Structures are given as structure tokens and as C-alpha cells.
Amino acid sequence: MEENRTRIEVVVRVRPILPEESRQGLINSRIQPETDKKSLVVKFPESKQQKRFKFDDVFDESSTQEELFARLKLNSLVKKVVEGFNATVFTYGPTGSGKTFTMEGYEYDKGLKPIIKENENIGLVPRTVKALFDEIKQSESQVEYTVNCTYIQIYNENIYDLLNPAQLTPNSPGLKMRWNKSDEFYVENLCIFPCFTYQEALSHFNSGLRNKIMASHNINSTSSRSHSIFSLNLEALDKEEGRIVSSRLQLVDLAGSEKTAMTGNEGLALKESIEINKALFTLRQVITTLAENNEAFVPYRNSKLTSLLKQSIGGNSYCLMIACISPIDTFFEDNHSTLNYAIQAGSISNIPVQNIDPKTKIIRELKKEIKRLKKELDQANSQLDFLSEIASLDRKTQKSRLQEMEKLPLKSVHIKRIRDLRKSLELSTSFEPTPVPHTAASQSRGKTEDFPLSQEVLSEKLYDSVKMIRELMAINKKLKEQNSELLSSKKNIEAEFIEIQSENQELKEKTEMLETILRDQVEQANGIKEVENLQKEKKELEWKIAQLEKENKNHSSMQVRKSEWDWKSKRTVLRDHSAKPPKVFTFDRNEGTPINSNGRSSLTPREKQFRTSFNFHKRNTSNGLSFDSQVKQEALSALSNILGYKQL
């Protein structure tokens, strides 16, 4: 089978100068589009030279979205998708060059959310989706189509599902990318939504746009911070032929390359710029490698973006690249680089392949084989009838009829057999019996036996033909049985496929429910863990308080003992004083204080202090407290004041 090679189509679109750029005095003096020649002239003022870049088409600043869609012939591309071929449309260029406007066509509010409304500026994605459903409506009635859509973004080299808000959490690790036997990369656990109308598909696209990550910097007030891929997966079932073909249309909006010095990005925005530039650098490596026909190693796996676009660039898809450039001189270097890579991409060849279901392909081949065998069977039946008729005729008539039979459209094997039969008949008719001597008769015995041999050969050839026809009929019957078995198997597989799809949908719903439950449980677990930590801290604090109370108690007992020892020392001193010669004095009746003959107290200052303590002791004793207890009480009060506690 010949390889149907086709080049990647490349067009260039130059956006108009923005009002803000005009107010700043920015101009275009280096890029001159030549739409009639499908080329673009770049001027180099330093060397006073210019260079012409030729593409499949060039769109200047005045081009509209409608004109762009019409001249790109996306209706023809959509028709290829309906026929079972894969196709990709992607935009490429520096930041602020109009890529997102070309694909979406929406304006963004101050919160960087799209303002969804249909007008003359709607982009290529809505127009292409509408063209796809229009083409499906115009297709043959016996073909049944199924359309599903997915929408992903690649942000900081992680893949996120824009149609699954539950997966778009700040700490989400993203979806995993896998590789299958068809030499394709795919995203695992991606939500797939059926689309029965253009409005449903567009609704899913707009819903995903609201979840897309956007930001603002010095160059672009609405800058995409991720690469986004909106995919429409199509499956067509021919009810009459039982043929199934599948295809995929990818509409890709790449983030623009950025220079940190110009954007002024810092922190998270700087990290985003680095990841964007890494992915675009890998894409440029892939384009350069394929353009140089160096297919020994193409670095698709170095980036998730190039991995997912593997079949689009140098693979089995039709591909259209829209290189977007900014006209102002500030971006001259970026524009020049974009044009160079666009030229290289235009030299890459893809080999589009119709995606026919393997079992459907086998059924088609078997049907062709059955048709061919039926034709041979009809020819063999006509030959059998002819041979039966010849067998009943005389030799002369047989010869003429065999000559007629040679003119029939039979296979070379059959013609050879007919010629053998005719030759045998000629040999048999050329024999004429004449009287000859015995010796001559014995020598010509072989000739007289030619006629019986020719009849025998004729019968043998006829028998072989009948045998061959019977074998063909048996083979035909066997093929019919195999065909019916395959059709039955196909129906069973279709039923299983529908059942698996429903199970897959149920599993997705259960997965979402489990994810919600898991998040709730994680939050509860975090709360329980926090309570446990608080309880642990409480126990530690209680233990510390107990230790402090124990230490306080020890200190209190030590102070009490010290007070007791002090009191005992005082009593010892009193005893020493009492050992002196007794003095004559009287006691006050109320206070018990001794007085001399002049009526004054006869106590020394130390004895007065002792008497005061004694009276205090006496009063407290009358209140029910012993003197030792009172001393302890005073010690505890003093300790409590020191430690900051109040004695209860």
C-alpha cells in the first residue's frame, strides 16, 4: 500500500497594533505581509537587508475571524475527520501575539474570566466544532456517529482536566499520562463527555475555559499560563456494512514563549514562564529534528506537550499550524524565531491513516473474498454446464464448442484444461483406420489407442472440474459460516462495549463520590489529630502542674520545718533567760504582763516580743489553732505569695 504522505500546512497571522501600543508610540517597520503572494518580508535595518518567508497562506492585520476560517479550508479538514482521519490545529508564537484570540475569540473581564457571547469575533474552535456537526448531518443516513469531548491543560508540566472541577484543587498532583501499544500517549482517568449537538460541545468548551489558568504581566494583560487541548473524538458505525471508523480532532492553544526581562514576572509567575519555555523548547527540538529527516531519535518524551502531540507532528494526522506574530518592532527577535520554526514545520511530512476498527477490517476482507469466490463459482458452474453439454455431443461439434469456450472470461488454469481437451479431440479425429501389414499394425498400435486415451483424458478433466467446483462450494459455505460467526461476535462486542461504557460512567461517578468522601474523611482525620494533639498538650500541662504542686508542697514542708526549728531555737533561748535569778514582779490581770513596784512593765524588749507572741498564740489557741499550726499557716502564706498563688 502506498503511503499517503502530506505536509504540515503552515499559515502566518499578523495581529493588529493594540490601542495601548499606539499610545506608547510603538510601530511596525520591519514586517511586511504580502497576502497576494502568500509570503512575509522581514527587514533587517542593521544590515539593510530583507528576507522573504513563504507559507501556505499569510493573513495581515486586517484579516477577520470569518475570513481566516474560510481561507484555512477547515471544512475540508473536518470532512477528513468524519471519514476517519485524525487532525490537529494548533497556534504557535510569542506571548501577546493573538493565539488565544484566534482560537477562542472571546474577551476577558478584569477577573481574567472569559465573556462568553457569540459575535463576529468568535474563534476557530467554535466555528470548527459547528462545521463538524454540520458535516455529520449531511452524511449518509445509514452511518451512525458518536461524538465525545475532552479538555485538558498542561500547567507547570502537570496535566489537569478542565471539565472536572474536583480535580482542579491547589494541591492536586495532576493526571497521569500513559502509553499504549498503538504508539500513542493518552491521559488516564480523563472525564469524557458525550456531545449530541453543537451547543453541547460548545457548552463543555466554554465551561473548561472558565477553569483555565490566566494571568497578567507587562506584555499581555490576559496571558495563558498553560497549554490547552480541546479534543473531539468521533466514532462512525456503518449499519449496512458493519464498518466502524474512529477519529480525533485536536484544537490546541499553546502558551506563548516569554522573556523574563520583558514580562517582569516574579515568584509563581516566573516558575510558570520557565515551564512554558521548557515545553516550547522541546517542541522546537522535535520540529527541528523532523525537519532535518533525523528520525533516529525524536525527543517527544522530554515534555508532556510533545508526547500528546506525537501523532500530530510527524505522525498519522493531518496537521495545521497557525504561527501568530506581533507587528511591533519590540518583538522582532521573537517574531523572527517564530517564522524560522514555522518554515521548518512546513517541511515535516505526516502519513494520515484511516482509523478502521481491526475486526471491521477483517470483516471487509472476508466479504471481498466471498465476493471473489462467488464470481469464480458462477464461472465454474457455467463451465460445468458447458462440459456436460459437450460430453453429449459428437467430436466435431465438441471441437467447435471448445473453441468458443476458450473465449469465455475464465482463469488461465481453466483455459489450459479446455485447450488440453480440444487437443485430445483433434488427435482422436485425425485417426483414420487403414489396412496395414501385421508388422506395421504392431508398430502403429500406439496410434490406434489414442482415441480411447483422449476420451479418458476428457472424462478425467471433467471430473477434476466438478471436483474443483465442489471444493469451491465447500469453501464458500465455510466462509459464510465464518462470516456469520464474526458478525455475531461483532454484535456481542458492541453490546459489551456499551455495557463497559455504562460501567465506566458509573465508576467515574463512584470515584467522584469517593473522592468527596475521602476529602471529608481527611478533614475529619485532621480535626481528630488536632484534638489528639491538644489532649496530649493538656496532659503534659497537667503533669507539669502536678510537678509544680509537688515541688510547692515540698517547699512548704521545708518552710514549716524551718519555722519549727526557729521556734525551738527561740524556746531554748527563753529557757536560758529563765535560768537567771528570779525577779519579783506582778502580772497584769488582763494581759498577764509583769509590772514592777512603779507600775511599769518589768520585761526586757526580747521578753516583750516573746510575750506578744505568747499572747498571739493564746488568742489563736482560743480560736482552735495551735501555735505550731499558726506558724505553718504563716509560712504557707508567704510561700504562696512568692509563687503567685493565693492561699485558700
Residue 291 · residue 347 · CB < 8 Å: yes
Q: Is 94 annotated as a binding residue?
A: yes
Q: Cα-flanking dihedrals φ and ψ of residue 105, to 5°?
A: 85, 5
Residues 6+ apart with CB under 8 A from 398: 390, 425
Distances (CA, A) of 431 to 6, 286, 396, 443, 445: 69, 82, 13, 15, 12
CA 55 to centroid of chain Cα atoms: 32
Residue 59 · residue 14 · CB < 8 Å: yes
Q: Is 593 annotated as a binding residue?
A: no
Q: Is 98 annotated as a binding residue?
A: yes
Q: SS3 sequence, 19-49?
A: HHHHHCCCCCCCEEEECCCCEEEEEECCCCE
Residues 6+ apart with CB under 8 A from 371: none
Residue 225 · residue 214 · CB < 8 Å: yes
- How far apart (Å, rounded) are the C-alpha atoms in residues 527 and 65? 54
- How far apart (Å, rounded) are the C-alpha atoms in residues 172 and 608? 86
Cell numbers that stand for 203 in this block: 457548552
Q: To which residue does cell 487541548 refer?
A: 229
Q: Which of 174, 178, 195 is nearest to 186 (CA)?
A: 178
Q: What is the DSSP string of 199-263?
A: HHHHHHHHHHHHHS-EE--SS-SSEE-SEEEEEEEEEEEETTTTEEEEEEEEEEEPPPB--HHHH
Q: Is 452 annotated as a binding residue?
A: no
Cell numbers that stand for 38 in this block: 502568500
Q: Is 84 annotated as a binding residue?
A: no
Stretch (H or E) spanning 610: helix 605-622
Residue 453 · residue 437 · CB < 8 Å: no
In the chain the first and final C-alpha atoms are separated, in Å, by: 105
The single-letter code of the amino acid at 301 is: R
Which DSSP letter does residue 88 get?
E
CA 184 to centroid of chain Cα atoms: 12
Residue 128 · residue 102 · CB < 8 Å: no
- How far apart (Å, rounded) are the C-alpha atoms in residues 271 and 273? 5
Q: Is 96 annotated as a binding residue?
A: yes
> How open is the CA angle 490-492-497, to the nearest 5 degrees?
95
Q: Cα-flanking dihedrals φ and ψ of residue 394, to 5°?
A: -80, 175
The single-letter code of the amino acid at 444 is: S
Which residues on neighbouring strands pair with residue 235, listed in sequence order? 146, 246
Cell numbers that stand for 114 in this block: 472569559
Residue 210 · residue 458 · CB < 8 Å: no
Q: Cα-flanking dihedrals φ and ψ of residue 232, to 5°?
A: -115, 115
- How far apart (Å, rounded) are the C-alpha atoms in residues 391 and 111? 95
Tell me the binding residues for ATP.
93-100
Tell me the binding residues.
93-100
